[in-house]
C-alpha cells in the first residue's frame, strides 16, 4: 500500500468523538486546543440538522470545548449547499428545526407548502402527523424528496430516538419515492466540507465513531480514517464491515500527537 501524505487538515464527527451524551470525551478539549494552536484547518461535522453552527458553538462551549462556529459543518448546511447548486432560488416544504430552515433561508430559498420544488426532511423532536401527511401529498404531486441524513436513530440519555432515516422510510413507504440523502455517508458532504476549508482529501483525515457513516464517508472521499471507540461502534463490530478504517484508537486522546 502506498504511504499516505502527512495530514494537513482534519474533519471530526462530534457525537461519540468529542462528546458523549452531553459530556466531553477525555482528550477532546486538548485535541481541539492542539488543532487551533497548529493553525491547521479543521471542521467538526454532524449529521444532526437541528442546530445552527452558532447554537452548536454555544452548546460545546458550555462543556468546555472551544470550537468556533465557523469550524462547524452540519448536514443542514450541506443540504443547503447542494440545493443551491442544483436549483438556486428554489422553494421547499421543510420538516425540521432552526438549523435547517436557517440554512435554507441563507441561500435565498422560499419555504412554502404551495407546489414546492423540494420536500426537505431533517431532524426534529416533534415530527407531526399533519406535517408528514403534507409531505407525502406534495411528493405525490411531484416535489423532489431530499433528506438531510440517513441516520435511523439518534442518541439521548433515555435511549435511542427515531431520526431522519426512520421518518424518511415512512414517507418512502407511503409514496414509493426514495429520498436523496445529503449527509454522511454521502461523500458529497465530505467534499463540501473539504472545499470550505480549502483542503485536499489526500492530506486530510476523518475521525468518527461509526463505521457505516463516518468511516465510510471518509473512505469514499479518499481521506485517511480514524475510528474511535468512545461512541456507537464496538470492537467486535468492526470486522463485520467489508471496509476498514486506516486506524482504530481508543479515543481522540490517542490522536493529539498526530496534529
Is 236 a residue of the active site? no
What are the φ and ψ backbone dihedral angles of 175, each rounded to 5 degrees? -115, -20
Q: What is the DSSP letter of 242?
A: S
Q: Does the annotation count 15 as an active-site position?
A: yes
Yes or no: say if 45 and 17 are a contact pair by the CB < 8 Å rule. Answer: no
**Active-site residue, selected from the candidate residues 15, 151, 209, 214:** 15
122 Cα distance to chain centroid: 11
Measured CA to CA, the distance from residue 221 to residue 1 in angstroms comes to 18
Residue 137 Cα distances to 6, 83, 125, 149, angstroms: 51, 21, 22, 21
Catalytic residue among 13, 151, 209, 214: 13
CA distance 46 to 123: 12
| Inter-CA distances, 39 with 107, 197, 204, 207, Å | 29, 12, 14, 18
Place of cell 435511549: 159
* Cα separation values, 109 from 43, 66, 90, 120, 245, Å: 25, 31, 5, 12, 38
- For the annotated catalytic residues, the residue numbers are 13, 15
Amino acid at each position: 500500500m502506498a504511504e499516505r501524505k502527512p495530514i494537513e487538515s482534519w474533519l471530526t464527527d462530534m457525537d461519540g468523538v468529542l462528546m458523549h451524551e452531553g459530556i466531553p470525551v477525555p482528550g477532546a478539549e486538548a485535541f481541539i486546543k492542539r488543532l487551533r494552536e497548529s493553525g491547521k484547518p479543521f471542521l467538526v461535522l454532524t449529521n444532526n440538522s437541528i442546530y445552527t453552527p452558532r447554537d452548536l458553538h454555544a452548546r460545546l462551549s458550555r462543556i468546555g470545548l472551544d470550537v468556533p462556529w465557523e469550524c462547524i459543518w452540519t448536514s443542514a448546511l450541506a443540504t443547503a449547499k447542494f440545493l443551491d447548486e442544483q436549483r438556486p432560488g428554489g422553494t421547499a416544504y421543510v420538516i425540521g428545526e432552526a438549523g435547517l430552515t436557517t440554512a435554507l433561508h441563507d441561500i435565498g430559498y422560499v419555504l412554502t407548502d404551495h407546489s414546492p420544488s423540494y420536500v426537505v426532511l431533517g431532524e426534529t423532536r416533534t415530527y407531526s402527523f399533519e406535517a408528514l401527511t403534507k409531505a407525502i401529498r406534495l411528493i405525490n404531486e411531484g416535489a423532489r424528496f431530499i433528506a438531510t441524513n440517513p441516520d435511523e436513530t439518534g442518541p439521548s440519555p433515555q435511549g435511542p430516538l427515531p431520526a431522519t432515516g426512520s421518518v424518511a422510510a415512512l414517507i418512502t413507504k407511503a409514496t414509493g419515492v426514495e429520498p436523496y440523502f445529503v449527509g454522511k455517508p454521502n461523500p458529497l458532504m465530505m467534499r463540501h466540507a473539504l472545499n470550505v476549508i480549502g483542503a485536499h482529501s489526500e492530506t486530510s483525515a476523518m475521525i468518527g465513531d461509526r463505521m457505516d457513516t463516518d468511516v465510510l464517508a471518509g473512505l469514499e472521499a479518499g481521506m485517511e480514517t480514524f475510528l474511535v471507540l468512545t461512541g456507537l461502534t464496538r470492537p467486535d463490530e468492526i470486522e463485520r464491515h467489508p471496509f476498514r478504517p486506516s486506524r482504530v484508537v481508543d479515543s481522540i486522546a490517542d490522536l493529539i500527537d498526530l496534529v
